[in-house]
Amino acid sequence: MERRHKIPLKLRLIRFKNSDFFSFIDKVINSVKPPKKFQGVPNKILFFRNDRIGDAVCTLPVLRDLKLNYPKLQIHLICSGKNKFVFDNFSYIDKLIVFSPANWDEENLSSIYKIPIIGKFLQFVFHFLLPYFNDTEFKKFVTDLKNENYGAVIDLIGRRRIAIMGRMISNFTAGSRLFMLSWIYSYYMKTNWVSPHDNDFMSRKIENLLEDSMGLKFEKRNQELPYTWRETSEAKQTDIIIHLGTGTIRKFEPAKEIEIIEALSNYKMIITDGYESEIFKMQREHFRNYPNIEFKIYNTLTDIVPDVKKSRLMLSYDGGQTHLLAQYIPAVVIFGPGAVDLWKPYEFKEYNIIKQWDNNLRIIQSAGEYGHQVVYKKIWCSPCFDVGCEERPCLGAITPAIIAQTVKNKLSSE
């Protein structure tokens, strides 16, 4: 039996909140105010997607198929300054609205706003309620949205402030389970957008919400990659492009990354990261005498696309960069604490286990065009909702030798 390691109190509370212990609360809400379904097809839908890059990419194929099946439906989307580039020039969206107040960025909030339950309440008070009554510009923003006469508002993030704002904007709102507050929506799912119960892709989860809440049908489907930025293929000039950028809790320690690069040092490679960190500089110095290994920093994720398209394979961590760039070439993806079933690269096909160890370490492969491979350890505390822990056994079980061999096997099969 697997030893259960110590996890932070915050993660314990989040898991407890999502446990069966509180299922009776959801049953009470469901009996008092059951989810209501939209009658007919709305003329105009507003989607809230002003969060992360990876989440934005997972939304693209759903919106594309929605427009394909309902060409007269007006699709408006609220994005953030951070993920706007994902939706730029995406012809299936009729109106793109940027809304990203600094205090809505979960990653940069002060610690008091990250306290479970209490922090969410404080966010609602100080980042929505008070601004609505005291900030003229914010109130005008909400009023302008209300004047659009949306048939439905869809909260793809799962925040109380968006649930309240949606009610102010439209008579019909839909979203995920909100702890003790699901009744705010007209329609709500049985789980949060990210939960321990997930067993399918995020793109499909969004699609299922639209099907169940409004009876929308996805009979016509576009399964082409990439979802957007249609470009011709390029001649392959690089064997592997390695993207080392992601959140700290999803990354190996620097020495482990060096060991992986050394094991693959016979290949022609490009190594990049989110920015030129001290670790990146150290690794670049370590490999300065390897003419076949280029360390390169790009200004934006889209700037990487040309080099990705000229590469045979990408090695990366779970994150927004993988969702975006795996649209172009095969990828080997390292998963740590993230929800694999929810966030593995999506190319319209299922994944199958191709290798498994006694410690529940697995390699799964997509049946799609690229055959993406994901390396992860199936573990009781996943997903950890980006809380992390000191031991990080999810990543500790994955050795550099396993990653290097997986990449070599994948390259030999291409």
What is the pLDDT, as a whole number, of residue 414?
A: 77
What percentage of the chain carries pLDDT values higher than 90? 79
Cα dihedral sign, 115-120-123-129: negative
The token pair that represents 174 in the structure block: 């839909």
Mean pLDDT of the chain: 93
The token pair that represents 366 in the structure block: 């997509």
The token pair that represents 111 in the structure block: 């610690």
- Residue 39 DSSP code: P
The token pair that represents 15 in the structure block: 């898991």
* CA separation for the pair 194, 318 (Å, rounded): 15
Average pLDDT (192-205) is 94
* CA separation for the pair 64, 220 (Å, rounded): 10
Strands 311-317 and 351-356: unpaired
Average pLDDT (181-185) is 94
Does the pLDDT of residue 109 top 60, yes or no?
yes
The one-letter code for the residue type at 412 is S
| Contacts of 288 by beta carbon, 8 Å cutoff, 6+ apart | none
What is the pLDDT, as a whole number, of residue 16?
A: 84
Residue 155 sits at φ, ψ, to 5 deg, of: -90, 105
The token pair that represents 166 in the structure block: 């949606």
- Exposure string over 227-255, b if 16+ CB within 10 A, otherwise e: bbeeeeeeeeebbbbbbbbbbebbbbebe
At 395 the three-state DSSP class reads helix
What is the pLDDT, as a whole number, of residue 232?
A: 61
What is the pLDDT, as a whole number, of residue 32?
A: 93
The token pair that represents 404 in the structure block: 């290097």
CA torsion angle 308 311 313 317 (round to 10): -30
Place of tokens 């990828």: 331
Tens digit of each residue's pLDDT (9 = 90 or more) over 239-284: 999 999 998 999 999 999 999 999 999 999 999 999 999 999 999 9
| Contacts of 113 by beta carbon, 8 Å cutoff, 6+ apart | 119, 122, 123
Contact 215, 38 (CB under 8 A): yes
What is the pLDDT, as a whole number, of residue 230?
A: 67
pLDDT, greater one: 207 or 18: 207
Count of beta carbons in the 10 Å neighbourhood of residue 282 = 11
Average pLDDT (186-207) is 95
Beta-bridged to residue 317, according to DSSP, are 334
What is the pLDDT, as a whole number, of residue 9?
A: 87
Contact 207, 60 (CB under 8 A): no
* CA separation for the pair 35, 163 (Å, rounded): 14
What is the pLDDT, as a whole number, of residue 2?
A: 64
Tens digit of each residue's pLDDT (9 = 90 or more) over 338-383: 999 999 999 999 999 999 999 999 999 999 999 999 999 999 999 9
What is the pLDDT, as a whole number, of residue 118?
A: 81
| Contacts of 254 by beta carbon, 8 Å cutoff, 6+ apart | 279, 282, 283
Residue 322 sits at φ, ψ, to 5 deg, of: -70, -45
Q: How confident is the model at residue 198 (pLDDT cuts 50, 70, 90)?
A: very high
Q: pTM value?
A: 0.94
Does the pLDDT of residue 24 top 90, yes or no?
no
What percentage of the chain carries pLDDT values higher than 70? 98
What is the pLDDT, as a whole number, of residue 219?
A: 97
| Contacts of 285 by beta carbon, 8 Å cutoff, 6+ apart | none
Tens digit of each residue's pLDDT (9 = 90 or more) over 274-326: 999 999 999 999 999 999 999 999 999 999 999 999 999 999 999 999 999 99
Average pLDDT (73-90) is 96
Strand intervals (E) in 255-360:
269-272, 293-295, 311-317, 331-334, 351-356
Contact 113, 119 (CB under 8 A): yes
